[in-house]
Amino acid sequence: MKPSPHPFGARASAIATVLILMGVTVLQAQEPARVAIDPPNSELRVGDEITLTARVFDADGNELDVQVLFAPVFADGRSGSARRFLDVHRFDGTVKAVKGGDYIVRAIVPTARDVRAQALVSVAYPALDRIEVRPAGGRMYVGTTERHVATLFDEAEDTRDTDVIWTSSDPGVAEVDRHGFVTARQAGRVTLTASAEGVEGSVTYRVDPNPAMAISVSATQENARTGDVVHFAAMVSDMGGEAVADMPVSFSIRADPALQATADLPPAEIDDRGRFVAYFPGIYTVVASVPGHAAHETIEVHPRHVSQEVSFVGQGQVSNVRTSDLWVWEGVDGRDYAITGTHRASGAVYFWDVTDPASPVMTDSLVVDARTTNDVKVSESGEVCVISREGASNRRNGIVILDCTDPRDIKVHSTFDDELTGGVHNLFIYQDHVYAVNNGIRFDVINIADPANPHRVGRFELDSPGHAIHDVWIVDGIAYTSNWGDGVVLIDVGGGDRGGSPSNPVEIARFRDVGGATHAAFPYRSPSGKFYVFMGDEIGAPGFDGQDSERTPQFMSGYIHVVDFTDPENPEEVARYEVPEAGSHNYWIEDDKLYAAFYNGGLRVVDISGELKGNLYHQGREVARYSAYDPDGVVANAPFTWGPQLYKGNLFFAEYFSGLWAVKLEPRQELVP
């Protein structure tokens, strides 16, 4: 369906007219052309604070009263969030040095993101305070080799990435190489020392004679598919046949992959716990060894064969503005509806009847005072819709609460902007409460049991330096927040065991992935018995909107980290899904399938059945992919997938340049023998 000639329909046009009559500036007469930031260079020590100021000018040199956002990045080009190292207030330019290093602070005009300036901030490293050496997992026996890791702490209690020098007190007993690998040569006592900048850390061992006389190895299965995790267990016994439980065992693989496995990655991997996964079909022999003894077990790996065809169902075309998020729900009248927001537009939202997903029909539209209505959600009852606001003309953003009982006649219940004026980017509705991401710093909990009279009942904010939050998702009374460099945090808001509630959110656990920039998180209790949290990065140059397809791989990157939270006290990152040519955005998980939007990489459907390990992209787990091409889009034929939702067998997704789409996975055709 084509939208009406006015970008937002006749009703939206009337609302826009009212806004103009009320004095709301829809288009600024003076456009930002240049930003000046002061001071351009600063040298700080950890704990120091300064304030950067930014002035915005138009092309004629007139100074403008325009909001400027401040954001730090690593000066050496590293990806990931720098806010944990240089705490920069987004709006007032206050900078606090948290950790040594060189950083760039960008001053960006949100309404014209290509208008920016930057300042260099150098933070001196504090002196080293101590070095902690992590002991090996098992005992040291003659002939064994174990790697040791040294962690360096400075006087500010921050870790330092500096080379260390390893030494052994008696190389005849045990020698150590420059990477911390220690090989035991004969029985005796030995001390291993790591040193840097005049500071030392050490660990002492008693090396015992090798008691091993035999080893055996077993596998949990003889046949597997690519991507299946097979567990290998080794049994070491001494002369009396007794088990030597603390003997370190080394696992290795002899691979005889199929001919097509000639690629620039190993055909399989195994870790020190015996967890094996293959990327290619073939015959694999796993060898378990201890000094003087080895045993092996062979398994056969077959192709996964999970691919399915995707068929186009329908499109609700939006070709005049960029589309942001979506939500699909069953209305109180039993029909199916969808709402889509807009990004960097004029505060519009659209409502669609998708009962026939092949022919979405726009039922209503609404314009609010905002530049972006990024997130849209509908209550469990299907009667209340909440939309987020950013870029309001009066800088009072917050949320708008709508009556969507009749999606053909949307009414405004109320707005709520108390202490939410900095902008709400994402939100979630759960049991008559809205969890609104406030100014990218915390989430506020707003009670909407009476949608005409919303009121705040609680809030949650991290206490780490430079903390930030991008998204919140709630399942069974547990909130999963995505916090950029601070990773994912699990919070009891009424469904955990910590006494939490909407008015008293209580942290359960958190996980910070290495080098990540956590943008979205989604929990999944797998039928395998594992509880995973999928953490999606978003890494890209500020202001990039996908229009230059040749530069897309440089600008959008990041992948989905899979973290095993089965033991919430000891979460472990076990797998990843990384599309080389694109970066992740939003996603949905249901029935052992991951539905992921990868911007210019389109929509990806991934088999996540069973236990997960390694890079899922290379394991034959991709079920399908779909790229939405629309010659009449805001940018013609430029897939830029924003977010999906599986609903009643159809897969709906928002396309940044072309609106609402629906596709369907066709049943897999099995070969009949």
**Is residue 226 included in any domain, yes or no?**
yes
361 CB burial (10 A radius; 0-12, 13-18, 19+): middle
**Same domain (yes/no): 80, 162:** no
**Same domain (yes/no): 74, 115:** yes
Cβ 105 vs Cβ 111: under 8 Å: no
**Same domain (yes/no): 157, 240:** no
**Which helix (H) or strand (E) element contains residue 10?**
helix 9-21
C-alpha span between 348 and 371 (Å, rounded): 8
Please tell me the predicted confidence (pLDDT) of residue 541: 57
**Same domain (yes/no): 221, 279:** yes
Q: How far is CA 370 from the centre of its chain?
A: 26
> Residue 260's domain spans which residues?
214-302
* Furthest-apart CA atoms within the chain: distance in Å: 93
This prediction has a pTM of: 0.88
Structural domain count, the chain: 3
pLDDT under 50 in the chain at which residues?
Answer: 1-29, 542-543, 549-554
Please give the span between the terminal C-alpha atoms of the chain, in angstroms, as a whole number.
45
| Cross-sheet strand order for the sheet of 159-160 | 128-134, 149-154, 159-160
Sign of CA dihedral 489, 493, 498, 503: positive
Please tell me the predicted confidence (pLDDT) of residue 406: 98
**Which helix (H) or strand (E) element contains residue 552?**
helix 552-555
Please tell me the predicted confidence (pLDDT) of residue 84: 83
**Same domain (yes/no): 113, 190:** no
CATH of the domain at 88: 2.60.40.10
Cβ 572 vs Cβ 564: under 8 Å: yes
**Same domain (yes/no): 296, 220:** yes
Q: Which of 583, 611, 580 is nearest to 596 (CA)?
A: 583
> Is the backbone of residue 602 left (phi > 0), alpha (psi -120 to 50) or beta?
left
Please tell me the predicted confidence (pLDDT) of residue 548: 52
Q: Which of 649, 630, 636 is nearest to 315 (CA)?
A: 630
**Is residue 84 included in any domain, yes or no?**
yes
**3-class SS of residue 188:** strand
Please tell me the predicted confidence (pLDDT) of residue 256: 85
**Same domain (yes/no): 198, 228:** no
Q: How far is CA 292 from the centre of its chain?
A: 45
**Is residue 141 included in any domain, yes or no?**
yes
**Same domain (yes/no): 108, 136:** no
**Is residue 275 included in any domain, yes or no?**
yes
pLDDT tens, position by position, 71-112: 899 998 876 678 888 999 888 999 999 999 999 999 999 777
User: b/e per residue, 238-247, with b = 16+ CB within 10 A?
Assistant: eeeeeebeeb
Residue 444, φ and ψ in degrees, nearest 5: -105, 145
pLDDT tens, position by position, 419-464: 999 899 999 999 999 999 998 999 999 999 999 999 999 999 999 8
**Same domain (yes/no): 119, 132:** no
**Is residue 145 included in any domain, yes or no?**
yes
C-alpha span between 80 and 557 (Å, rounded): 10
Q: Which of 306, 280, 314, 325 is nearest to 604 (CA)?
A: 306
C-alpha span between 569 and 541 (Å, rounded): 35
Please tell me the predicted confidence (pLDDT) of residue 139: 82
Please tell me the predicted confidence (pLDDT) of residue 13: 41
C-alpha span between 495 and 474 (Å, rounded): 10
User: Of 207, 241, 276, which residue is a domain's last?
Assistant: 207
CATH of the domain at 165: 2.60.40.1080
**Is residue 644 included in any domain, yes or no?**
no
**3-class SS of residue 147:** strand
**Same domain (yes/no): 164, 180:** yes
User: Of 282, 302, 322, which residue is a domain's last?
Assistant: 302
**Rg, C-alpha atoms of the chain:** 28
**Same domain (yes/no): 223, 162:** no
User: What contacts 408, CB < 8 A, 6 or more positions away?
Assistant: 351, 363, 364
**Same domain (yes/no): 226, 298:** yes
Decide the pairing of beta strands 63-64 and 53-57: antiparallel
Three state DSSP letters for 251-314: EEEEEEECCCCCCCCCCEEECCCCEEEECCCEEEEEEEEECCEEEEEEEEEECCCCCCCEEEEE
**Is residue 102 included in any domain, yes or no?**
yes
**Is residue 415 included in any domain, yes or no?**
no
User: Of 98, 124, 150, which residue is a domain's last?
Assistant: 124
